[in-house]
Amino acid sequence: MFTGSAAAVRRGRVAAALVVAILGLAGPARAAFVTSWSSSQAYPAARVSPVEYPRFYAVFLAGWRDVAARDDGRVDLAASLGAAAGDSLCAMVRTLAQVDAAQAVRLDLAASGAARLFLNGALVAPARGEGGYDLTLRAGRNEILLKVWSAPGNWGFRVDADRPLPPPRRAAGACRAAWETPATFLTPESVLHDPGRGVFYVSSFDYQYEQRDRPTGFISRLGLDGAILDERWIEGLHAPCGMAIRDDRLFVAVREGVAEIDIPRGVVAALHPIPDAVFPNDVAIDARGRIYVSDTRPSLAPPAVSVWRLSGTELTPWLIAADVGRANGLLAAGDELLVGSTQGGCLKAVGLESRAVRTVIGLGAGVVDGLRSDGRGGVLVSLWEGQLFHLDADGRLTELLDLLPAQRNTADFEYLPDRRLLLVPTFLANTVAAYELAP
């Protein structure tokens, strides 16, 4: 329950500050209520796990909308979600903070009913009594997500921080819509440019592949202007995802491993299986022509192989690391392989020879999907849930695109630096959308 007026809250803060000053107690002064939040729709309480971070489809389909805090910092969920008295409900609420270097922050959470706090996808236990949290924000984007349950006649929460939480860096108007294909694809997951032939390849994943009695995925060919040249150029693939080109061969991640396509002939020339594959997802090729494929599995699921390498005609384990769980997007950059780690929502870099792992930047929480060079020493990276970011050569992270409010995915995109043209496979919308990036 919340009681007292905003004036009473302010008087309480002044009194606490006087006690600290008189007794000489050390400790940071309270800075502000956290007031910038987005809320999901309301859910029956019995459907919401108190300990698990929501799966990516639940985040994507949550119907996020901004909710305003009152002067006393309280967010009234009953008012914003229209809950009736006596309902047993739960909602997810989240706020984002972006910092340039790791830093500690102290939060105090008060809620009308039960509440759980997740930082970057991980459940956090109170450290200073009920409702007191000591968090470490990592360099980059951080997501603080709450699950808040209703109480009889009341439903809301308030969060107080010992310092302001810097908002994410965003570039308004950075992407201008150029064109979009008809909704003719079957869950398009990846787009790849073939500069030698002046076409794009689009993989249609078919997100209902597990319910099919035969493989229904396919590869399409697209013109640079978005014209569909060959909708079903290669058919019968098992949930095709990321792609890469070496010479006249197109390598595609499929459920069994990697399909090798002879481009001039337009046929599958070979299939390279991954033993006990869970979710082969992306393909990258380094400067020496070595081929890597990610397997999006929990890092602790045996065998704990995050990335495989194609040696000759055999895929062999290349990266086994607990801190690169659910590896997804891949990009060879210099002497490192960049890996999108969905388990933790961050971008990792792995030495091609040493296989030493380092964290490049945090992205909050979400499916770290597409990775492309910006042509200037930086990279573009997407979260499947609908965001796309630019990480420049100096390590500055900026959000360029957010399609989550419109429930549009940003899957494994393509980017042409010379044209500043971005190609986004919209996944559930079944289109490919092109955007021009501002200089």
**Domain edges within the chain:** 6-161, 175-437
Residue 198 has pLDDT above 90, yes or no: yes
Measured CA to CA, the distance from residue 211 to residue 266 in angstroms comes to: 27
Give me the amino acid identity at 407: Q
Give the pLDDT score at 25.
29
**pLDDT, position 21:** 30
Report residue 439's pLDDT band, with 50, 70 and 90 as the boundaries: confident
Question: Mean of the per-residue pLDDT values for the chain?
Answer: 90
Fold of 6-161: Jelly Rolls (2.60.120)
Where residue 19 falls among pLDDT bands split at 50, 70, 90? very low
What is the pLDDT at residue 276? Answer: 83
- Which structure tokens are listed for 157? 């929460």
On the question of pLDDT at 300 being above 60, the answer is: no
pLDDT of residue 181: 98
Residue 68 DSSP one-character state: E
Q: Which long-range contacts (CB under 8 A, 24 or more apart) does 180-184 make?
A: 180/226, 180/431, 180/432, 180/433, 180/434, 181/222, 181/226, 181/228, 181/431, 181/432, 181/433, 182/228, 182/431, 183/429, 183/430, 183/431, 184/228, 184/231, 184/430, 184/431
pTM for this predicted structure: 0.90
* 244 vs 351: CA distance, rounded Å: 20
Q: State residue 275's pLDDT score.
A: 85
Asked if residue 219 has pLDDT above 50, the reply is yes
* Nearest to 254, CA basis, from 299, 226, 217: 217
What is the average per-residue pLDDT within 21-39? 61
* Range from 25-34, 208-217, 231-240, 421-430 carrying the lowest mean pLDDT: 25-34
- The predicted model gives 8-13 an average pLDDT of 35
Find the angle CA(400)-CA(169)-CA(399) to the nearest 5 degrees.
Answer: 20
| pLDDT tens digits, 258-284 | 999 999 999 999 999 998 888 999 999
Confidence of residue 320 (pLDDT cuts 50, 70, 90): confident
Question: Does residue 28 register a pLDDT over 70?
Answer: no
Is the pLDDT confidence value at 403 over 80?
yes
Radius of gyration of the chain (CA): 24
Task: Please state the rounded mean pLDDT for residues 176-204.
Answer: 98
- Look at domain 175-437 and name its CATH class: mainly beta
Q: What is the pLDDT of residue 33?
A: 92
- Please give the pLDDT value at position 303: 57
**CA–centroid distance for 403 within its chain:** 12
